[in-house]
Structure 1
């Protein structure tokens, strides 16, 4: 099959998906519609043994603001004063300014259940849970981009884990893996750089 015969709709969406740091609240879609779409996308994301180890919290409104207030509270405890001011500006202008936040978790009780149930593969299930959360994040991120919503993936865990769990009354088995603020796209990101194909790929006939 020639390259011109290949379908490229997915590739176009993948190119549209970028890390968007300047977010806003000018979103046309409702919270209900965004959440319903993301639930379907995440449910269709593949996982080893169909294990479905990823857990998600959709935070809007006051809950969204609370996530980033917690980040700032915890950062202030550990960051030097001069560094904290820069972090505060970044959090408030880039993440808290968005429309919502997706909190991504791995259910460690489910991972343990799989390890006990399939001892031959026990050493792999946590790695596979990371693959599932990666698949789910990419799918959700791309779906947001398809709907002209920007997002980025942040990693303030494990610094905020305990406070997030307490604030939102989450199960102790849910291990926070990342935070995805999203919203309207307020500025276009710079061009993306790519490493040389020769350093990245091998084709073997």
Structure 2
């Protein structure tokens, strides 16, 4: 299933009901993510984005690790609602983890001191564009996804579990799978007053 770009952009939503049923091959998933990483724009062509794709038992391990971390932090509080979320994400086909290589960011700060304070923000902007391209690409394949942020709570455990460089900072997590329920309604505000065109 390959949607036209404008269809994929419009249909890209947050899907929380997911299944492990494959709607595209693992090779195709890898292909669209490689394309996104290679072509996402970055400030000063820094190419600071890093991605880990977790499929099968590795995907399940991430949400188990996240659940264990959050349960430990919750103490005596009721964990049932959070546990349901973890189970829903784990029910999907895979998870994409988005990182920024902070060594690249620091290198740019040293190379261009006049922009030093701006580079962390540039890095996040680049990551956001990469996340959007991956999300829309997964949509075009027929997967549903959502964007989650359990960082920095799980950062250390993720680096240890998958033996990742210390300079990779976890920015976001994207569980995806075949949608089992429609996305919620999206209320689009009037574009009047949100866009200005000057000629």
TM-score range, shorter chain: over 0.9
1:53-202 to structure 2, matched below 5 A, reads 53-92=48-87, 94-202=88-196
Question: Are 1:28 and 2:42 counterparts?
Answer: no
Aligned to 2:40: 45
1:197 partner SS: coil
Q: Report the more deviating stretch, 124-133 or 80-89.
A: 80-89
Find runs of 4+ consecutive structure 1 residues off by over 6 angstroms: none
5+ long unaligned stretches in structure 2: none
C-alpha deviation, 1:80, in angstroms: 4.8
Question: Deviation string for 1:37-65 (max 9, x for gaps)?
Answer: 21112211111111111111001112111
- Alpha-carbon distance in structure 2 between the residues aligned to 1:189 and 1:32: 26
Provide the rounded CA distance (Å) in 2 between the counterparts of 1:143 and 1:194.
22
Tell me the SS of whatever aligns to 1:175: strand
Shift of 1:115: 0.8
Question: What is the TM-score with the length of structure 1 in the denominator?
Answer: 0.91
Q: C-alpha deviations, 1:145-197, integer Å up to 9, x for none?
A: 01110110000001101111100001000110111001111111122112232
Moved more, 76-85 or 22-31: 76-85
Contact 2:19 2:93 in 1 (8 A): yes
- CA separation in 1, counterparts of 2:43 and 2:7? 27
Say how many residue pairs are matched.
Answer: 196
Match of 1:204 in 2: 198
How big is the alpha-carbon RMSD for the aligned residues of Structure 1 and Structure 2?
A: 1.3
